[in-house]
Amino acid sequence: MKTASFDFGPTLLPLLKRNLREQELEISFKGLQTTKHLIESMGVPHTEIGPLKANGKPIEMDYQVQNRDRIQVWPVEPISNGPIEPRFVLDGHLGRLASYLRMLGFDCLYRGLYEDEELAQVSVEEARILLTRDRMLLMRKVITQGYLLRSLSPEEQLKEIMQRYSLSSWVKPFKRCIRCNHALESVKKDLILKRLEPLTKKYFDEFSLCPGCDQIYWKGSHFDHMQKIIEELCRNKYVMESER
């Protein structure tokens, strides 16, 4: 039997299995084991593992842990603004988060009935970041882009995502259908006049149409509600850049 000690960064501690939540841990193991495997067996999916060191020297996740190694584990650093807009695929039960992300203009696939297999496949084939609260799902080998949501609250989850993927510069509010994820197109009022309620007809002039599901959008009460959420995020400095 070999042993190795693991020292996790404070933000990773809540992800460890309950009986392991100490700053420095000693783990016993047999045979050849990679750092990734041992860390995942303690509860932390590989998508959350950032820089690693063994005995003070940088190592990769596939490093084979030696007897008496001292491993330090840092969390993944927030991804700063890259050249490609992040796209997402969301696990079931994250419908509210999907709505919020679409409201801010992000391309995210969501439907309540995805199987784990399918989620993993979509994430890999379409290079979409997999958002889930299921750590076992993120431990699948094929997953390279994923994030384990910490909070149960959709608003807090949105803040987590904004921070982790530096989304502020990509925010384009009211450009995507909240129901079906299609990009919205502006539409002339007289083309949809027959479908409007009398008050909507009277007070609003700008409309968008979803080419996917035919839903009409205008800057009415729904808009005000969304605006409030966006302002709230701005106050928290998560979308400051889009306001400049």
- Say how far apart CA 127 and CA 48 lie, in whole Å: 17
> Is the backbone of residue 99 left (phi > 0), alpha (psi -120 to 50) or beta?
alpha
x/- contact string, 199-218, with Zn ion (CB under 5 A)?
-----------x-xx-x---
User: Which of the residues 14 through 53 are near Zn ion (CB under 5 A)?
Assistant: none
Q: How far is the CB of 95 from Zn ion (least distance, A)?
A: 15
- Using CB under 5 A as the binding rule, whether residue 222 contacts Zn ion is answered as no
In the complex, least distance from residue 184 CB atom to Zn ion, rounded to whole angstroms: 8
As measured in angstroms, the least distance from the Cβ of 204 to Zn ion is: 19
Residue carrying the six token digits 């083309």? 191
Q: Exactly one of 70, 179, 201, 219 binds Zn ion (CB under 5 A); which one?
A: 179
Of 126 and 185, the one with the shorter C-beta distance to Zn ion is 185
Query: Strands (DSSP E) along 55-149, which ranges?
Result: 57-59, 69-75, 88-90, 108-110, 129-132, 146-148
How many CB atoms within 10 Å of residue 209? 20
From residue 128 to residue 167, what is the string marking binding to Zn ion with x (rule CB under 5 A)? ----------------------------------------
Q: Measured from the CB atom, is 16 or 180 closer to Zn ion?
A: 180
CB contact at 8 A, 164 and 195: no
The strand pair at 129-132 and 88-90 is best described as: parallel
Q: Which amino acid is at 101?
A: L
Footprint of Zn ion on this chain (CB under 5 A)? 177, 179-180, 182, 210, 212-213, 215
